[in-house]
Amino acid sequence: MKDQQSIPISKVQRAAKIIKAGAKVSGNYIKHYTKKIADPSLDKGQLHENNAEDIYQSLSELRGSALKVAQMMSMDKNILPQAYQDKFAMAQYSAPPLSYPLVVRTFQKSFGKTPEQMFDTFTQAAVNAASIGQVHQATLGDKKLAVKIQYPGVADAVSSDLKMVKPLAVRLLNMSEVEINHYMEEVEGKLLEETDYILEVQRSQFISQACSHIPDLAFPNYYRDYSSPRVITMDWIEGLHLKEWLQTEPSQESRNKLGQALWDFYHHQVHQLKQVHADPHPGNFIVQPDNKLGIIDFGCVKEIPEDFYQGYFSLIRKNVVMNEEELEDIYYELQFISVKDTEVEKAYFKPFFRKMIQLVGRPFHAEEFDFGDNTYFREIFTLAETISNDKMFKNSRQARGSRHGLYVNRTYFGIYNLLNQLQAKIKITKPAWVT
């Protein structure tokens, strides 16, 4: 893949890229509907492919929060056509790499030294490149290291990028602007945290140590003397990304083993630490040769407020779904409904949230759960698609759901999707109070 020689840094340069992408999308729609006049049977397959290519091309040149939003959307398989999912998923670990002179410049600003002056060896070519930064391999003595370098200008452009990319997000996600605005502050806060590599190292060390007792997990060591607000140095984790590992056709026993480690890792974070690795995409996990699961990125961590935790996770108790009075209180606490709603609106929205609660909580109601059961996932995607296209939701005067639920929901559905890819059958560890 050809190296990118520069990244647009100024607001004007970045705005020009996003405006250009929007113009291309509009042009694609015009071409599509012109062709459809001549051929009414024409579907939107080619339109989606063209839009996905044009949007990804522009966002990959910008990097940062704009590309990160695309990555997040690719994980939500229920809200985007396949063409967007496939293209935007490249943002997880296959963005065009940044040229080496820009890498050297970042090191000189951070340490006053070049990579060659700090390490015994350092690869000039990036090993992989994602939305916020790219990774190079280095050695120091007998240590093999991964060095993550943040792209120039990413941290300074988060807020302005999100404002500029919002119209594209509204159009692609089929969500109301009210709903987008409700969650934008949460997204912006998390993206700003992801650009703070000092914070990431602190969280990485804390969660790694707190989860070190969980079987079949592996965490790298982090080196603070070789890290900065824009550079992270950690141990190199040998192995394959999940997608690559699955292509080796592992046994069901190995799939279950990895799935169990993944479930137990998230269970401990959510219910014991009240903070969680909230970016469960395949690029953040490495399967080692001994089939241990390596966790390599803690850039996105959601701290779960106690009051939100109590309301949200009380829903996974099966009897709560049957208790109308208790359920009504939780609906208000989690902002699924509000005092501004009419009785008609309340009666309309409640069945959707009841169904959602039942689906999210279903694995918790079993001792073992088979995440290879595709019928379960079809139910989830069908409900999400129904809500996405529902006029009452789209025309709602307010967003539905606490902003804290954005990353918690994303985390759980991300875990469920990974376990489905693994086709894993696992034992469901759960808090004692659930039963």
pLDDT at residue 46, rounded to an integer: 81
User: What's the DSSP call for residue 94?
Assistant: B
* Residue 215: burial class (beta carbons within 10 Å; 0-12, 13-18, 19+): exposed
pLDDT tens digit string along 315-336?
A: 777 666 667 777 888 888 888 8
Q: How far is CA 393 from each of CA 44, 181, 243, 364, 387, rounded to the nearest angstrom?
A: 24, 15, 35, 28, 7
Count Cβ atoms below 10 Å from residue 23 Cβ, excluding itself: 11
pLDDT at residue 396, rounded to an integer: 81
User: What's the DSSP call for residue 383?
Assistant: H
Which three-class secondary structure string do you get for 336-370? Answer: CCCCCCCHHHHHHHHHHHHHHHHHHHHHHHCCEEE
pLDDT at residue 3, rounded to an integer: 56
Closest CA to 412 of 376, 365, 363, 379: 363
d(CA 237, CA 234): 9
Q: How confident is the model at residue 10 (pLDDT cuts 50, 70, 90)?
A: low
d(CA 243, CA 310): 35
Instruction: Calculate what percentage of the chain has a pLDDT beyond 70.
Output: 82
Q: How confident is the model at residue 267 (pLDDT cuts 50, 70, 90)?
A: very high
pLDDT at residue 96, rounded to an integer: 63
On the question of pLDDT at 49 being above 70, the answer is: yes
pLDDT tens digit string along 113-122?
A: 999 999 999 9
pLDDT tens digit string along 358-372?
A: 888 899 888 999 999
List, as one string, the DSSP characters of 32-80: HHHHHHH-TT--SHHHHHHHHHHHHHHHHHH-HHHHHHHHHHHH-TTTS
Q: How confident is the model at residue 52 (pLDDT cuts 50, 70, 90)?
A: confident
pLDDT at residue 276, rounded to an integer: 94
d(CA 133, CA 138): 16
Q: How confident is the model at residue 401 (pLDDT cuts 50, 70, 90)?
A: confident
Please list, in sequence order, all residues whose beta carbon lies within 8 angstroms of the beta carbon of residue 319, skipping any fewer than 6 positions away.
none
Name the residue with higher pLDDT: 277 or 87: 277
Bridge partners for 94 per DSSP: 129
User: What's the DSSP call for residue 228?
Assistant: B
Q: What is the mean pLDDT of residues 77-97?
A: 59
Q: What is the mean pLDDT of residues 188-199?
A: 90
Instruction: Please state the pTM of the whole predicted model.
Output: 0.80
Q: What is the mean pLDDT of residues 336-357?
A: 88
Strands annotated E in 172-235: 217-218, 231-235
Please list, in sequence order, all residues whose beta carbon lies within 8 angstroms of the beta carbon of residue 178, skipping any fewer than 6 positions away.
396, 397, 398, 399
Highest mean pLDDT among 55-64, 123-132, 224-233, 355-364: 224-233
Q: How confident is the model at residue 212 (pLDDT cuts 50, 70, 90)?
A: very high
pLDDT at residue 33, rounded to an integer: 74
Q: How confident is the model at residue 50 (pLDDT cuts 50, 70, 90)?
A: confident
Q: How confident is the model at residue 282 (pLDDT cuts 50, 70, 90)?
A: confident
Instruction: Calculate what percentage of the chain has a pLDDT beyond 90.
Output: 38
Two tokens at 334? Answer: 């989690």
Name the residue with higher pLDDT: 47 or 225: 225
Count Cβ atoms below 10 Å from residue 336 Cβ, excluding itself: 22
Two tokens at 89? Answer: 């998923």
Q: What is the mean pLDDT of residues 269-294?
A: 92
pLDDT tens digit string along 133-155?
A: 889 999 999 999 999 999 888 88
User: What's the DSSP call for residue 334?
Assistant: T
Place of tokens 């040769």: 289
d(CA 429, CA 73): 29
Q: Hey, what's the torsion of the CAs at 54, 55, 61, 64, to 10 degrees?
A: -170
Please list, in sequence order, all residues whose beta carbon lies within 8 angstroms of the beta carbon of residue 432, skipping any fewer than 6 positions away.
none
On the question of pLDDT at 62 being above 70, the answer is: no
pLDDT at residue 11, rounded to an integer: 65
pLDDT tens digit string along 153-169?
A: 888 777 777 777 777 66
Which residue type sits at 27?
G
On the question of pLDDT at 61 being above 80, the answer is: no
pLDDT at residue 31, rounded to an integer: 79
Q: How confident is the model at residue 389 (pLDDT cuts 50, 70, 90)?
A: confident
What's the distance, CA 29 to chain centroid? 28
Q: What is the mean pLDDT of the chain?
A: 83
d(CA 111, CA 228): 8
Tell me the torsion sign for CA atoms 287, 293, 299, 302.
positive
Count Cβ atoms below 10 Å from residue 196 Cβ, excluding itself: 16
Q: Hey, what's the torsion of the CAs at 385, 131, 91, 376, to 10 degrees?
A: -40
Q: How confident is the model at residue 87 (pLDDT cuts 50, 70, 90)?
A: low
pLDDT at residue 41, rounded to an integer: 76
